[in-house]
């Protein structure tokens, strides 16, 4: 007699849960910390994470039905807002044709061409699935091209969770880094030098000591993982000069800033201040995927020819150039390329940060803001920080109170002092006004 088939409970049949707290408790039983990316756990600010059930335009709704004005935008990709009609139609159409083929498609060629057309420093591009993958691959390419091992990064810049990049600064000037994550052996980061952001003297000392061995310098031109800190123009200019002088490559990590701060990305902003400026390798993510898992790295044809299958630097990915993701990214790039898009987006973002600054000034609260395109940041201090140490000295307790005050009033900021904010084309004047009014209310209570 054949035994009856074994049956297992289906997760889709789990009892309905209506509150964020209940969902978080349930999540912690099956997912480490209850989240799939650490900052979502609200550990930095305290309290219960909001479990989002849906989003539209500039808004998100949580499991309890509460609506929030969204200034995370999926950590940057949703530059058009959630569910833009043209993007949604492109994704649905592509999904009907097939989710993944494991073979080349015309659409990935179109997306590569679209990126190259908008970023003059790039002649060829390789599509991948995440910013971490793109950053890791860019470093491998730089090492393969130069035949060198050492890399320079800056404290406070985040380039994904590849082992060689999970490092903190050493104890002295231009020292090698030490792992900041368990599971990363010290020997893996022995070739990574970690310097202070915006410190010209340190970068000069590093090249003086190790110039012949440095493969690349990697930087976030606007560091969005220590809130919003710009690389000073003289700092960027000096790195460019030192890389040229010593034969190293200058890598711009534009996973966050790419197509977010300008159509030509952050490198176009620096080119306005530094005539002829270009990075050697550019890394993109977020906006180019429009909310789908997609990233890229690119540079000159001469350097990219070192990549397999043409050259000895190996890189591959099953879902690279995914047809649904490329459809989403292409539709997004088409919409943001419309005349006047960035002028309007930048003006909307400036209205927000100026309103926040005015509210803080009226309340007598130390507060500074900055923005570029659709990206912004603020700190509870009297002067804009220039590096990670200065960011860490700002008033985190006040930020946490401000975050929860706005959250209680229906405004969703990043749940950590160290994260930038994002405005989308879907945010209206009324949304901005409501946000500023909520901020003023919270700041008056300080």
Is residue 158 part of the annotated active site? The answer reads yes
Which one from 286, 342, 370, 412 is the annotated catalytic residue? 286
Q: Which of 273, 173, 178 is nearest to 230 (CA)?
A: 273
Is residue 253 part of the annotated active site? The answer reads yes
pTM reported for the whole predicted model: 0.93
Average pLDDT over residues 215-239: 97
Query: Dihedral through CA 240, CA 242, CA 248, CA 254, nearest 10?
Result: -30
Model confidence pLDDT, tens digit, residues 341-385: 999 999 999 999 999 999 999 999 999 999 999 999 999 999 999
Is residue 418 part of the annotated active site? The answer reads no
Which one from 253, 280, 370, 431 is the annotated catalytic residue? 253
Which one from 59, 158, 270, 342 is the annotated catalytic residue? 158
A 10 A CB-CB count for 334 gives 13
A 10 A CB-CB count for 105 gives 18
Model confidence pLDDT, tens digit, residues 379-433: 999 999 999 999 999 999 999 999 999 999 999 999 999 999 999 999 999 999 9
> For residue 171, is pLDDT > 70?
no
Domain ranges (residues) in the chain: 11-83+339-444, 85-336
State whether CATH 3.90.1150.10 applies to domain 11-83+339-444: yes
Region 85-336: CATH code? 3.40.640.10
């Amino acid at each position: 007699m054949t035994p009856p088939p074994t049956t297992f409970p289906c997760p889709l049949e789990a009892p309905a849960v209506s509150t964020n707290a209940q969902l978080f408790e349930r999540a912690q039983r099956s997912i480490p910390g209850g989240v799939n990316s650490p900052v979502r756990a609200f550990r930095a600010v305290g309290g219960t994470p909001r479990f989002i059930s849906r989003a539209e335009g500039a808004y998100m709704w949580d499991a309890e039905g509460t609506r929030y004005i969204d200034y995370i935008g999926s950590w940057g990709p949703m530059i058009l807002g959630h569910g833009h009609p043209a993007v949604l139609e492109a994704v649905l159409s592509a999904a009907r044709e097939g989710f993944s083929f494991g073979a080349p498609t015309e659409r990935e060629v179109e997306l590569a061409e679209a990126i190259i057309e908008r970023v003059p420093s790039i002649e060829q591009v390789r599509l991948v699935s995440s910013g971490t993958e793109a950053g890791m691959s860019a470093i491998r390419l730089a090492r393969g091209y130069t035949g060198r091992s050492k890399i320079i990064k800056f404290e406070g810049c985040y380039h994904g969770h590849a082992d060689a990049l999970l490092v903190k600064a050493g104890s002295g000037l231009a020292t090698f880094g030490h792992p900041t994550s368990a599971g990363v052996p010290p020997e893996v980061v022995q070739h990574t030098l970690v310097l202070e952001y915006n410190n010209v003297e340190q970068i000069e000392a590093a090249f003086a000591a190790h110039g012949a061995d440095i493969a690349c310098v990697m930087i976030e031109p606007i560091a969005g993982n220590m809130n919003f800190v710009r690389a000073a123009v003289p700092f960027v200019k000096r790195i460019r000069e030192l890389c040229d002088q010593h034969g190293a490559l200058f890598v711009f990590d534009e996973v966050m800033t790419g197509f977010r701060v300008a159509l030509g990305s952050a490198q176009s902003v620096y080119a306005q201040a530094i005539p002829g400026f270009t990075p050697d390798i550019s890394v993109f993510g977020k906006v180019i995927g429009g909310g789908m898992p997609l990233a890229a790295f690119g540079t000159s044809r001469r350097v990219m020819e070192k990549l397999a299958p043409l050259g000895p630097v190996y890189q591959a990915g099953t879902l690279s150039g995914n047809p649904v993701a490329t459809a989403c990214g292409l539709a997004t790039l088409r919409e943001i390329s419309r005349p006047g898009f960035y002028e309007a987006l930048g003006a909307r973002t400036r209205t927000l940060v100026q309103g926040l600054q005015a509210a803080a000034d009226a309340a007598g609260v130390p507060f500074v803001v900055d923005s570029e395109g659709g990206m912004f940041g603020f700190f509870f201090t009297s002067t804009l920080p220039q590096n990670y140490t200065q960011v860490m000295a700002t008033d985190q307790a006040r930020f946490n109170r401000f975050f929860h005050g706005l959250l209680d009033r229906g405004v969703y900021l990043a749940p950590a002092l160290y994260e930038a904010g994002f405005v989308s084309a879907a945010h209206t004047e009324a949304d901005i006004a409501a946000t500023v009014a909520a901020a003023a209310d919270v700041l008056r209570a300080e």
